[in-house]
Structure 1
């Protein structure tokens, strides 16, 4: 099957030339573009998530041979969650090659975290089916790069840490309140305030509620632990 310039450019960024380029095309096809004779990437996404999980579990065991399961689990989650996959997808500009329906394209689908994360998982599956596990493993470790060795610093969700801090002091869990929203519908910006029963609070602004909540929690956690 003849390759487009777009597919060849993405292959170079991925570091894998497909024997079956139709696998990569399928991995890049969102459900908004599926139809008779054109499969979307949802089944590949399912498989890619499992391939990524195995590679990361193996890598983490090798990275820290003394870590307990309780220490490894949050590191694993940080490496395989949708946000991490979307970050890597942005690094190799998967968004530029996505096949989207008109509505998704008009609503900024090439930049959406969920679509990018799903596509990254689908691409992993495509590489696995095309070249085998070792080829997929090499690509994943190369694309994730230093994230694997530095994940210990970033694995804890600040929302979880703040909640544990509050509970240890007999407080109710922190409350998160959306105080502002701006920007167009396809690229909203949220401001979230997190409050403790003690009256302490902090806020943050980001392009997703989850990110804003995390940043607000991190700010409040830094504030309260400085006084411990």
Structure 2
């Protein structure tokens, strides 16, 4: 049995289907989705339908992303803001055109069921963004940090690569877990389009919301599968992202 980690999808269902076909997980494998299923490309609502159906054949764990929370607020309460609309919310809204109340309710239920994080038996943490408490996620003061924090990744990027984990100045947060898998901050911002490790933190967000591919990483082997750069799968929308 293998464990696969899937990066931020952002409504790019075509990319998700493509990369799952490449990886070919077995029903006994575990698929861990790191969040941000919506906001970006035009298949947001269809992506949620696909993920909900995927649970029927695979063991799936769905982590909450910040965009998923924003979409939930809009679906439940009609709350929106210009920043959300500019950051992919407009495409999500359009994807719900013609979709009835029953499907919307099912999507609300799905988004409300998302996990803030997952900790496996090997002390590996899976979280969308990060956490701030030096004692780990169980001691985090504000749950929103799990899907909004960027300081964990910024800290990992700034680490001296020669610094050992038993050094007195090694960050306490990183000592809590064997490995940490995150999304949230697109690696394309630093010119990288494959999952990338700094310290014991793996970032699997390879920029599917922009001009990067969607990535799947197998936890044990670190083998990677990637889709076509997502903007090429949605050429009529590429200018918007």
TM bucket by the smaller chain?
under 0.3
Q: Work out which structure has the larger RCO, using CA pairs closer than 8 Å and 6 or more positions apart in sequence.
A: 2
TM-score, with structure 2 as normaliser: 0.23
TM-score, with structure 1 as normaliser: 0.24
Instruction: Please identify which structure carries the higher helix content.
Output: 1
